[in-house]
Structure 1
Amino acid sequence: MFSGSIVALVTPLKGNGEIDYQNLEQLVDFHIEQGTDGIVAVGTTGESTTLSMAEHTDVVKHIVSFVAGRVPVIGGNGSNSTAEAIELTHLLNGTGVSGMLGVTPYYNKPPQQGLYKHYQAVAAATDIPQILYNVPGRTCCDLLPETVAELAKIKNIVGIKEATGNLSRLTEIKALCDDDFLLFSGDDATGMEFMLQGGNGVISVTNNIAPKLMSDMCRYALAGQREQASAINAQLQPLHDNLFVEANPIPVKWCLAQMKLINDGQLRLPLVELAPQYHAQLLTALKQADVL
């Protein structure tokens, strides 16, 4: 269904803060040409928290239309309000997405039963495959393996993006879930090892910058070819490390602007442009990955 190198795509903005659809199409073509296996449209890297519901839906529709079936498109449907996540899910039902990705409710810090009921309610609002997304470093909320296993019993909950960076989580979830439950790394620094230990792919920020290298690395890792995967991952490591020197997607948008793939690195407040003290190390990382 979904596997390999999937990009957590940024949402390019114009200087006036509007969506830059021309740059968006340029990014989509870039990824397909470079071998990206799938696109997450308006996930958290796509600034879902600061786009309006109408903008969110329009961007997903535009990406699905422009992709035209060339790769799967997964729409972000996460929110810290279950009612809002359900509303967004209803809106995405008619867009043509192949799946949806829902981050755990941030700030609220729900207990495990609250997380179960949240995802159960969202899944009931659609027949489209749902992917859970656990990133406690950003949400202050940890979706535990036992809860994942209960959610995996729901027919259209098909996988998880696990972004703790803790590889023991992969082992725990694999032991508790059926073999067809999809496991994606959401942590670029440990993504290669995640796949070598049985994961199905990576939903990646680094992929925004170096899709060909990420695609090749994932292909080798999924085939169990550690030596080849490691050689590529060593080239990518400075990007894995430095794309998070400030809050995502601040650094990745700055890098894309340096690569002339977007016109500038505009973000929506409260995010602001990359602080100058990080420019040199990101330029070095871009050069090491041979993308600049």
Structure 2
Amino acid sequence: MAAMPSLHSSSPNQTHMPIFTYHSSIFFLCLLFHLISIVASAHFYSDVEDMEGIKIDLFPEVLRDEAVARLNELGKISDTDGYLERTYMSPASIRASNLIRGWMEEAGLRTWVDLMGNVHGRVEGMNTSAKALLIGSHLDTVIDAGIFDGALGIVSALSALKVLNINGQLGKLRRPVEVIAFSDEEGVRFQSTFLGSAALAGILPVSVLQIQDKSGVTLQNVLKENSIEISDESFFGLKYDPEAVWGYIEVHIEQGPVLESVGLPLGVVKGIAGQTRLKIYFSGPASLMLTLEANYRMVNIFDPPL
């Protein structure tokens, strides 16, 4: 499930950014805070008080001010001057990973980086054997990216958990909660999308370790350059057991105008667009079809199949 705040462009220069900063951000961060409380906490919170009538401080300086500051800070971590570009395991990506890991620790989470470069932060709660709630998004970007794409899902999750930690509720969660900052979704560097999440889902073939970027460096060597030694055997150990996962939540910026056009700050996604990428090879002598009579052609694409 993904929740999408209203802002149809994720560009850092977008003129609508102040609207997002001061209105939508506190709304969806509070919503995520309550969602975690409902599905994972031993207590349920209303927006101003709990079931016993005790006032709950939602800490707007964390859920709004600090969250926005962190989005801006991540938006400045780039491999290129003048625009945001942060590709898989690049120097900027490593700096962003270290920063996010520090925020996870500040929120009271146990942290680690896995063999594909995904950054994890986890709290076990009161029942370590319960299925875990996963929350996250990607830390890599496209070329000339907006500051909200991917980063929003990571920052919002950490802000919500930080408030639970401040309120003394983080250790009272009735199931484990894990935040994951996926190392690659966009696929810019290796032209192979979802490297981070596909590895955890167990649908990434081990042959992916030998794909090359435009400089001819393999993915396995890129990991090695960043002190990550991965073998065929350890690669398969990345897969999460589906029986150990309760669900997944991702807050993501809406990359379209719908919510803004209808005046809604948030939407809940029931389905997502899928992608199919094909490589098609044509063989045979080259010629202009319009000047080559049909009986001379090896294949006539206009003829019906036999």
Question: Taking CA–CA contacts closer than 8 Å with sequence separation of 6 or more, which of the two structures ends up with the larger relative contact order?
Answer: 2
Larger Cα-atom Rg: 2
TM-score by length of 2: 0.27
TM-score by length of 1: 0.28
